[in-house]
Amino acid sequence: MIRICSTKGMTEKEWLEQRRNGIGGSDASVILGINQYRSIFDLWEDKCGIAELDGSNHNDYTHFGHVMESVIRDEFKRRTGLPVRQRHFILGSEDHPWMIADLDGVVKEDDGSYAIFEAKTASEYKREVWESKVPDEYYAQVQHYMAVTGYKKAYIAAIVGGNSYYCHEVERNDSYIDDLIKAEAKFWKNVMLGIRPEADASGATVKYLNKKYADSQNTEIQLPESAVDLIEDFKATDEEIKKLNLKKNGISNQLKELMQENEVGKIGEHLIKWSTVVRKNLNTDIVKSLLGDEYENCLTETKYRKLSVA
């Protein structure tokens, strides 16, 4: 690995500008399509300099994440006895110059080797994930860091829900890193050539496209030949989903027949619940009769575009 530049005294704008010169650890999950907050198009527009450099992704959540970093680092040192050294540099890969890393810290192991240290904060609803493993987007991040540094291990320490500490060790996964480098290299080539990346299946990309093309025009275009394969794949997938849903319904009905009037069923480690749910719905006819002409003033309009393939 090489030192690209020091981050000491660097402003947020300077830091964001520097990150545009390569692919960082937090970009890895976006490129793999497993980041729920940022789409592949958002990242591409950022790296190409199309998006405004305003740090809009750095809100209160990320601000307090930085504030808590030193607290988490101190707690890690207290619990493990391992020293953590901060690296105030943006690092780069010797083999892949577009791969960069800005580490939270480096851990010196008892045997003299070094490991990545990463500090995270997470909300309460993420607790179940942290109890069992490292969230996928952070796994991608530290594998990227290990690719840049050559280190064999990473520690990810997190404060979840403001009051629970979790720490996971992540071993270097060379097979994963090989696939990650290929995906990042393809993305960076698109950045250098100014070619928009292919849309992926992430929820962030769904939101991006729905927002960008929210307003439609009553016009017709001729699609490229490549659309034929996409359409056939869409239809085949749709049919497969219908078959799987039908199969799922059959299995559900067999389980219901076994459960009968009982709400809970157990076998081994499996737990089945068939509970009664009471839902109250608004009776629009009664509301209309009570409000009369004012009923229309209480309605809100929701607009979206529906995709259909014939």
Contact by Cβ (8 Å): 35, 29 = yes
- Vertex 248: Cα angle to 246 and 252 (nearest 5): 120
Q: What is the CA radius of gyration of the chain?
A: 25
CA nearest 187: which of 95, 179, 91? 179
pLDDT, position 61: 60
Q: What is the pTM of this model?
A: 0.84
Instruction: At 282, list the tokens.
Output: 């608004």
Q: DSSP letter at 110?
A: T
CA 240/CA 235 separation, integer angstroms: 9
Give the largest Cα separation in the chain, rounded: 79
pLDDT, position 70: 85
pLDDT, position 163: 86
pLDDT in tens, the chain (310 residues): 888 888 888 888 888 888 889 999 999 999 999 999 999 999 999 999 898 876 555 555 666 667 788 889 999 999 999 999 988 888 999 999 999 999 999 999 888 899 999 999 988 888 889 998 999 999 999 999 999 999 999 999 999 988 899 999 999 999 999 999 999 999 999 999 999 999 999 999 999 999 999 999 999 999 999 999 999 999 999 999 999 999 999 999 999 999 999 999 999 999 999 999 999 998 999 999 998 888 888 888 888 889 999 8
Instruction: Indicate the pairing of strand 105-108 with strand 164-171.
Output: unpaired
Q: How far is CA 300 from CA 295, 296, 303, in A?
A: 11, 9, 10
pLDDT, position 82: 92
* Sequence-ordered list of residues with C-beta below 8 angstroms from that of 197, at least 6 positions apart, any chain: 40, 41, 44, 187, 190
Question: What is the rounded end-to-end Cα distance, in angstroms, of the chain?
Answer: 52
Quickly tell me which residue has 């969230």 as its tokens: 135
Buried b (16+ CB within 10 A) or exposed e, 218-254: eeeeeeeeeeeeeeeeeeeeeeeeeeeeeeeeeeeee
- Vertex 306: Cα angle to 300 and 309 (nearest 5): 165
Instruction: At 170, list the tokens.
Output: 């992540």
Which H/E stretch holds residue 2?
strand 2-6
Class of residue 81 by CB neighbours under 10 A (exposed 0-12, middle 13-18, buried 19+): exposed
Ramachandran region, residue 298 (left: φ > 0; alpha: ψ -120 to 50; beta: rest): alpha
Instruction: At 190, list the tokens.
Output: 């698109």
Which H/E stretch holds residue 82?
none
Instruction: At 18, list the tokens.
Output: 């520097």
Which H/E stretch holds residue 250?
helix 226-259
Instruction: At 148, list the tokens.
Output: 């840049």
- Vertex 257: Cα angle to 256 and 258 (nearest 5): 90
Which H/E stretch holds residue 166?
strand 164-171
CA 148/CA 28 separation, integer angstroms: 12
